[in-house]
Amino acid sequence: MSALVQTGAAVAPVVVVLALLALRSPSLLAGSAGLVAALVGAITVFRPDDDEVLASLAQLGPTVLEVALILLGGVLLATALSATGSRDHIAGWLERVGSGDDRVPAILLLVFGLTPFMESVTGFGLGVVITAPLLVRMGLSPVKAVVTGLLGLVLVPWGSLGPGTLVAAELGGQDVAELGYWSALLTLPVLLVSMTTVLVVVSTRPSARHVVLGAAVVVTQWAALVAANAAVGVPPSGILASTAVIALLLGVGRARHGVLPAVTAELGRALIPFAVLLAGILGASAVLALAGAPAGTGWLTSPALWVNVAALVALRVYTTPGPPVTNLVRTALATWVPVAGNAIVFMSIGVVMAAAGMAAHLADLASGFGPASLAGIPAIGALGGYLTGTNTGAAAMFSSATSGAATGLGADSLVTLAGQNVGGSFAIIVSPPRVALAVGVVMAGHTRLPGAATRTLATAVVAATIMLCAAVAVLA
């Protein structure tokens, strides 16, 4: 009976969260209820000693703070880009690149270049907010624009400079750089499925030329993603991989049209914050590596520092009259509070479950099903991503148990955790909050997609998840 009670207490937080989210309760309410369930189970059933609690807080407390600061910078940067007109200059220039009789290269530029680029820098679905209206202007119907825009969210593990991957690594007891590398390797099925679906949605029967171009985009993005994670780590990898795709398709545009649109002074100023962000992270990493990484200097390479610096730069370098900076900061803070609150609540659930031994108990339970249980881990991650609408939430709920289950089975916990990370990240394209955001941008008065469009997105997620399950079963 004691084991049964422990199992019930360990499962209760996850069940409470998933049930409330399935009933369309606000994610903050669902997370708070799950946190209460976790605390009750920890206090009444598992009863960890003080040393275990303090050790977990010391290990994971700084991560919670770092994630909150990354999200603050991301929201502030997104607000600044919108208010100053910077994102419109970038998007408009890319749109002019795609003018011509064949719209497919330009659509791929927006979907696999601009969407993941903006998502990697700021997160929160900003990439779709920017690209969906542009896709309509390129001739796609609003429904197709929403579907293809959402399918561009292929680099979510690196969205907002990777807090979700950071959380998964910390709770799963893995090195974040290694988890990023394996997540990059396992992103190939997502890229293949997403590209195939986009080409079919746009062209129904893609020509051989478009298939070749799509394959080139997939290979470029995947190779750049893997190389970036191996060379410079998680935070800038999504930016670098999407930049590689933009460069490839700009080259295609120049070959087709002979010349690219002129780079204006406004566009140059709009790009300055991104240059600051990349130069800060990469430059600080290089300097510290040459200096032997002195103790206590790791914060200098943190995305939490540089995304906030980039946001402040964005507020200053663009001179078009607009709202006062204080108003923009207040707007960003009002957006950040619920976003950070959600992330912190879900992370707190993971911290409590890890500290109390609840996650370890679930891992032992999963191990009892044998090696076959490993194959289902990406699907569990996908369920978490769908219901929470964020890979950070999915990572906080399942990472500790995933890593423990793999270790208990003698499997590679790094591979299984990467499979969960990628699966949970791609599934957010069918999450109701993300879909509603994309729909609201181009379909005024609507919050839902037609059934056929929803099935298209769901089929893509299921296909990618099945491929990930197979990959984890073989590699782990």
> DSSP states of 177-212 as a string?
HHHHHHHHHTTHHHHHHHHHHHHHHHHSS--HHHHH
Cα–Cα distance for residue pair 195/197, rounded to 1 Å = 5
453 in Cβ contact with 143 (< 8 Å): yes
pTM recorded for the entire structure: 0.77
Q: Comparing 30-44, 149-163, 225-239, 307-321, which segment has the lowest mean pLDDT?
A: 307-321
Q: Which of 3-7, 59-63, 107-111, 119-123 has the highest mean pLDDT?
A: 107-111
Measured in whole angstroms, the distance separating CA 77 from the mean position of its chain's CA atoms is 16
299 in Cβ contact with 62 (< 8 Å): no
Residue 215 has pLDDT above 60, yes or no: yes
Number of other residues whose CB lies within 10 A of the CB of residue 170? 26
**pLDDT of amino acid 100:** 60
Percent of the chain with pLDDT over 90: 26
Residue 304 has pLDDT above 70, yes or no: yes
What average pLDDT score do residues 8-13 get? 85
Residue 350 has pLDDT above 50, yes or no: yes
**pLDDT of amino acid 228:** 96
Cα–Cα distance for residue pair 160/257, rounded to 1 Å = 34
Q: For residue 362, which of 382, 386, 380, 348 has the smallest C-alpha distance? A: 380
Q: Comparing 13-22, 91-100, 422-431, which segment has the lowest mean pLDDT?
A: 91-100
Based on its alpha-carbon atoms, the radius of gyration of the chain, rounded to whole angstroms, reads: 22
**pLDDT of amino acid 282:** 78
Take residue 66 and report the two structure tokens written for it.
Answer: 């770092």
Residue 367 has pLDDT above 70, yes or no: no
Give 89-145 pLDDT, tens digit per residue: 777 777 777 656 678 888 999 999 989 988 887 776 667 877 887 788 778 898 999
**pLDDT of amino acid 56:** 64
Residue that is written with structure tokens 């190779």 in the block: 223
What average pLDDT score do residues 157-173 get? 86
Q: For residue 246, which of 117, 376, 93, 432 has the smallest C-alpha distance? A: 117
Q: Tell me the average pLDDT of the chain.
A: 83
Cα–Cα distance for residue pair 11/31, rounded to 1 Å = 14
At 1, the pLDDT band (50, 70, 90 cuts) reads very low
412 in Cβ contact with 406 (< 8 Å): yes
**pLDDT of amino acid 326:** 79
Residue 338 has pLDDT above 80, yes or no: no
What average pLDDT score do residues 367-382 get? 79
Q: Comparing 5-19, 262-276, 318-332, 401-415, which segment has the lowest mean pLDDT?
A: 318-332
Q: How far is the CA of 211 from the CAs of 103, 215, 251, 309, in angstroms?
A: 14, 6, 17, 40
Residues 6+ apart with CB under 8 A from 191: 154, 218, 221, 222
429 in Cβ contact with 387 (< 8 Å): no
User: What is the number of H-type helices and E-type strands within the chain?
Assistant: 22, 0
Give 452-473 pLDDT, tens digit per residue: 998 999 999 999 999 999 999 9
At 221, the pLDDT band (50, 70, 90 cuts) reads very high
Residue 292 has pLDDT above 50, yes or no: yes
